Amino acid sequence: MKIRQLEIHTSRLSEMTIFYEKVIGFQVQRKDSESALLSRGEARLELKMADHEQPFYHFAFSAPQKEFNLLAASVQSATSLLINECNERVMKSNLWKGDQIYFHDPDGNIVEILSPQSEKEFNIREVGLPSENIHDLKGFLREIPSEFQNDSDLFQFYGDQNGVFVLVHTDRKWYLTNKKASIHPISVTIEGEKDTTLNHPVLPYRIKVKQKI
């Protein structure tokens, strides 16, 4: 499941745009008073101005090792890296078998950068989708194949080795933080077998599937 584009809401459009351009190395494709579209490698990130809420999300980017090392240094010069129980700032990912870092961006989003083995291009690797019932959320996603088998009520990966949705219960705190997962508008574009759009009937989630060309 290759994740091509992530659209999130922000209460700090200008600060977020500058952060992702100057610190993470995205290029600004367009920007106005309501939104900004940025790109780097295979990843496209769209920021939209929030109405009244203070949204926050979890998502992860993936980068080749050389890029990861530069990104880790760039992030550490701009903000603090989160520390795990072993007092590590750069840690190992059990799922992706490589280095990873966590940090907060200007909106307080919990952002992760990974360096899986044999990674060739910067991309979006994870997107968090909180829900009060993740089994119902899996049903919503059933048209999208998943190789993960997990029946946890609190946390599941959904997708494959190219990319995953992180399904998490709203009672669960995000890793390395005291923040409980919460629901905010999100739109994700992924690569699939045929063009289709999944709009959740209750949650503010939209999944666009675009056929690979």
Q: Quick one: pLDDT band at residue 212, thresholds 50, 70, 90?
A: confident
pLDDT in tens, 102-146: 999 999 999 999 999 889 999 999 999 999 999 999 999 999 999
pLDDT in tens, 138-160: 999 999 999 999 889 999 999 99
Q: With CA atoms as reference, report the closest residue to 147 among 158, 155, 139, 138.
A: 158
- Is-contact 139 156, C-beta < 8 A? no
| Number of domains comprising the chain | 1
Q: Quick one: pLDDT band at residue 213, thresholds 50, 70, 90?
A: low
pLDDT in tens, 7-52: 999 999 999 999 999 999 999 999 999 999 999 999 999 999 998 8
Tell me the one-letter amino acid at 78.
A
- CATH number of the structural domain spanning residue 85: 3.10.180.10
Q: What is the percent of the chain where pLDDT is above 70? A: 100
Question: Which domain does 15 fall in, by range?
Answer: 3-211
Which residues contact residue 33 at a Cβ distance below 8 angstroms, ignoring those fewer than 6 apart? 13, 49
Mean pLDDT score across all residues of the chain = 96
List 156's β-bridge partners, or say none: 167
